[in-house]
Amino acid sequence: MKGRVLVAGIGNIFLGDDGFGVEVASRLALRSLPQGVRVADFGIRGVHLAYELLEGYDALVLVDAVAMREPPGTVEVIEPARESARPGEDLDDRAPVVDAHGMSPDVVLALLARLGGAVERIYVVGCQPASLSEGIGLSPPVAAAVEGATELCVQLVADIVQPAEKGTNR
């Protein structure tokens, strides 16, 4: 796949490990990435992320703290299941209420759909937080995971933009 890819760091830096995505995005911004890849720190500005996606991206990589019931600092690539409406049901009826300063990825994607946009492929590079308590700074296990997550994002973006000859289906 050749196309536009948005890597979006999301989270609240004032809630400890919730700042994981923001930290990874800041490190990715210093890296050389393939043409067509944009890295941005969206923090808690979910509405801005939804509107950015309306600009036309083929893939979205969200980087965020994600509760996965794993040891703190565990990093995983998650491919969210696409929700579809049941017959006679409108997905908009189930869309969560929009809060411009605290939108989770599912709310951002629901807003994007309501605005008439779509993204073909979505990945979440998630890290199990140790603490989401008020305070600035990542916990030691999450801070230790940032560099590996940055490398994982670089590889994921490369696979999205230029799939392996053997037909990597990422």
Reported as a pLDDT band with limits 50, 70 and 90, residue 65 is very high
d(Cα 63, Cα 11) in Å, to the nearest integer?
9
Question: Mean of the per-residue pLDDT values for the chain?
Answer: 84
Of 117, 119, 126, 121, the C-alpha closest to 160 is: 121
The pLDDT of residue 126 is above 90? yes
Q: Measuring CA to CA, how many Å separate 44 from each of 41, 64, 83, 105, 168?
A: 9, 11, 23, 10, 32
Q: What is the pTM of this model?
A: 0.82
Residue 69 burial (C-beta neighbours within 10 Å; 0-12, 13-18, 19+) = exposed
| 70 touches 131 (CB < 8 A) | no
CB 112 within 8 A of CB 83: no
User: Exposed, middle or buried, 3 (CB in 10 Å: 0-12/13-18/19+)?
Assistant: middle
The residue with greater pLDDT, 52 or 162, is: 52
Least confident of 22-36, 41-55, 73-87, 125-139: 73-87
What average pLDDT does range 117-131 have in this prediction?
A: 93
Distance CA 143, CA 65 (A): 12
| 60, amino acid identity | L
Q: What is the pLDDT of residue 103?
A: 58
What whole-number distance in Å separates Cα of residue 86 and Cα of residue 27?
41
- Do 91 and 113 meet the contact criterion of CB atoms below 8 Å apart? yes
Give per-residue pLDDT as tens, 77-115: 998 875 543 344 454 454 444 444 455 677 777 888 888
Helices 46-53 and 105-114, axial angle in degrees (round to 10)? 50
The domains of the chain, with CATH numbers, are: 5-85+115-161 (3.40.50.1450)
Is the confidence at residue 145, as pLDDT, over 90? Answer: yes
pLDDT at 2: 54
CB–CB of 166/45 below 8 Å? Answer: no
Confidence (pLDDT) at 107? 77
